[in-house]
Chains A and B, each alone.
Chain A
Amino acid sequence: MKKAVLLVSILSIAGFAGPAFADGETIAVFTKNQTNPFFESVRIGAAAAAKANGVKIIQYIPVKPDSIPEQTSQVEDAIVKKPNALLFTPVDYKALVPAIEKVNAAGIPVTTLTDKLAGGQVVSFVGAEDFRLGYESGQSLMKALGGKGNVIALEGVKGTIGNTDRMAGFTKALKEAPNVKLLTQQPANYQRLQALQVMENIMQTHPQIDGVFTANDAMATGVVEAMAAANRKAIIASINGSQEAIDLIKAGKMHVTSSSDPFMQGCVGLLTTLRALRGLPVAKEILVTPYVIDSTNTKQYDVPVSSRVCPKIEEIASK
């Protein structure tokens, strides 16, 4: 009796999936996790572009956020399903190379999205330069500081390519402002709670902090809270352009965030993959133009992701 109930319940869960085949091309879309709003925007962008062009997409997201073995398994599973192409954001730019080599061997074309791979063959890369994001947010911070003062930097997960490039961009902006002193640079792993606590601790040793740079918006919100709780003020610069950061900028609690436009990355990534499938020329590398959001232009970017519009397939760069 109970066994029957179990079967029915599993079947009813399985019913979510619907038929496995549809008309038109099928593209497998891989993102790193289902918790970061950035990748949700990427997925929404890819889904919007797919819908507009009659393409079926399958989203693969690791059950454990950013898990290397799991994404590797998902790639292997996807090969079994034989999608027409992969739009692929590697959870680690080196560790996923062997998985993509298998996709290459299976003859399925791959476009990388957001993070480049250190090897394997790809049709195209669609993303943004993290270095430029770090540099532009950093520059905006230096300018707001008037070229002098004490700053703190909070890093994301050490060793990830995005974090390395963002911090390198920030370091360049810092070097160009010789009178700005970096008090300390510590990792808070892109996490809010860690950023809050690390900031609370750092504030104890440094009575004068004029500016803070964080490698993502989630950490910036932790810094905002730490500062507010201690009744202190600093100019906060960050990266990601999340709705939350835009609201904080509007409220005057944050100075700047820069965005690599995840929605557009999702759109362009999918459309580029599709162009290659349909025999249209594609560029080897397409960098989505990042934008910098501060109090002067919040209105322009304060649009919900779901109501944004993808470009048309003809508008995608071909070389």
Chain B
Amino acid sequence: MSQVEAVAPKFKLTLSRDVTDVAYRLLAVAIICVVLSIASDAFLTANNLLNVLRQASLVFFMASGLTLVILTGKIDLSIGATVGLSACVAATVIKSTGSPWLGAGAAIGIGAIVGLGNGLMVTKLRIPSFIATYGMLWVVQGATYYYMSGQSVYGFPAGFRALGSGYLLGIPIPVYLMVAFLIIGYFFTKRTTWGQQIYATGANTVAARLSGIPVNSRLNLVFILSGAMAGLASLIYLARLNSAEGDIGETLTLPTIAAVVIGGTSLFGGVGSLFGTFIGGLILTLILNGMNLVNMNANWQPLVTGVIVLLAVWLDMKTRSKTDG
């Protein structure tokens, strides 16, 4: 079959595509910013922009792991529930031991274990990822309810809190973390063999397998990373909110998927980037920020998000079919 040779050129195309994709998305962000700065004086202030970046960081951490999963053509619906469980366990660990490090280890460890479970269901039991992670969502959610039995845990050490609410040189600490992960993520996905294998797996799984890529290990890897990033996001959540409850993950999954999609990552796999996801999360955050600033009824938010999702993907397809010739 010609599929084997097809992988390489398709992959190259993806790289050049990313440049145009990013340019279009930055343009979209710029347009939103212009509109919002006309609508509200408070928008274009250093404070507000840092505020938006900090809010976007939470979305980014959840969405970055998910991006890797989606790049392989799979999906992870358990991400919000994983954030909830990780946050609740980490919160009790920090409370009982006083050590944020143990708490961080618990959060990321639980995330990674949930991710491994997802990965094994997909690779070993060959359950479609949509269904496997949906089942996992309920299992994790139930475990969280059981663990918390309707209570909340709150009040963490100041050193840990700085992770979410602290500043360094006037810039929020989670923003540094986000930038750091963006850079690491860029090198991981674009400059390492593993990263390229993730793209290749999504672009054409059969071809990837034929060309000797250990597809199952890479799939396990992305699910573990997705869970671990959800664990990390839960730490940012805890540090920002200073408290955890059983229900925190419930509303997080669909907006996270929306951020990845708006960021230009294709659900068929093989196309997209972490930087795109960063911008996707930024666009969603900007919209909410703008609605609050102009005092708009929050009931419109799902509708606006839905329209933007469709618009973003439609524009993607327009521009991509043009660049593809």
Task: Report yes or no: B292 in contact with A202, Cβ–Cβ below 8 A.
Answer: yes
**Would you call B293 and A221 a contact (CB within 8 A)?**
no
The A/B interface has a contact count, at CB < 8 Å, of: 92
B: number of interface residues (CB 8 Å)? 38
Q: Assess whether A205 is in contact with B293, with CB atoms less than 8 Å apart.
A: yes
Q: How far, in angstroms, from A208 to B292 measured CA to CA in the complex? A: 16
Pair A186/B248 contact, Cβ less than 8 Å: no
- Contacting residues, chain A, for B40 (C-beta < 8 A): 205
Which residue from A40, A204, A225, A228 sits with its C-beta under 8 Å from B149?
Answer: A40
B55 at the interface (CB under 8 A from A): yes
Contact B246 A201 (CB under 8 A): no
User: In the assembled complex, which residues on chain A have CB atoms less than 8 Å from the CB atom of B251?
Assistant: 191
B292 with A192: CB separation less than 8 A: no
Type the 1/0 row for B290-322, where 1 means its CB is closer than 8 Å to any CB of A.
001101001100000000000000000000000
B159 interface residue, CB < 8 Å from A? Answer: no
Would you list which residues of chain A between 250 and 276 have a CB under 8 Å from chain B? none
Closest CB in chain A relative to B246 CB, distance in Å: 4
The interface residues of chain A, by DSSP majority, are classed as: helix
Interface string of A207-251 (1 = CB under 8 A from B): 000000000001001101100110000000000001010010000
- Chain B residues with CB below 8 A from A40, complex form: 149-151
Stretch at the interface among B45-53, B89-97, B205-213, B264-272: B45-53
Pick the contact of A193 from B45, B237, B293 — CB < 8 Å? B237
Q: Is B247 touching A33 in the complex (CB atoms < 8 A)?
A: yes
List B contacts of A197 (CB < 8 A): 55, 288, 292
Within 8 A of B (CB), among A168-204: 184, 186-187, 191-193, 196-198, 200-202, 204
Contact of B242 among A37, A198, A221 (CB under 8 A): A221
A198 near B165 with CB under 8 A, answer: no
Contact: B152 with A37, CB < 8 Å?
yes
| A284 CB–B CB distance under 8 Å | no
Cβ–Cβ < 8 Å partners of B237 in chain A:
193
Neighbour of A37 across the interface among B43, B150, B298, CB < 8 A: B150
Contact status B154-A244, CB under 8 Å: yes
- Quick check: A218 and B245 within 8 Å, CB to CB? yes
With contacts A40-B150, A65-B250 taken as known, whether A201 is within 8 angstroms of B298 at the C-beta atoms is: no
Are B293 and A200 in contact, CB atoms less than 8 angstroms apart?
Answer: no
Question: B216 on the interface (CB 8 Å rule)?
Answer: no
Shortest C-beta distance, A233 to chain B (Å), equals: 15
Complex Cα distance, B152 from A34, in Å, reads 11
Q: At the interface, yes or no: A296 with Cβ under 8 Å from chain B?
A: no
Shortest beta-carbon distance from B46 to chain A in Å: 11
What is the bound-complex CA distance between A221 and B150, given in angstroms? 17
- 14 A-B pairs with CB atoms under 8 Å apart are A34-B145, A35-B150, A36-B245, A36-B247, A37-B152, A186-B295, A187-B298, A192-B243, A192-B245, A196-B240, A198-B292, A201-B48, A205-B42, A225-B165
Give me the interface of B with A, judged by CB distance under 8 Å. Answer: 40-43, 45, 47-48, 51, 54-55, 58, 145, 148-152, 154-155, 165, 237, 240-243, 245-248, 250-251, 288-289, 292-293, 295, 298-299
- With A35-B150, A36-B150, A40-B151 known, 18 other A-B pairs at CB within 8 A are A33-B247, A34-B149, A35-B246, A36-B245, A37-B150, A40-B149, A192-B243, A193-B248, A197-B292, A200-B55, A201-B292, A204-B42, A204-B289, A205-B41, A224-B242, A225-B241, A229-B165, A229-B240
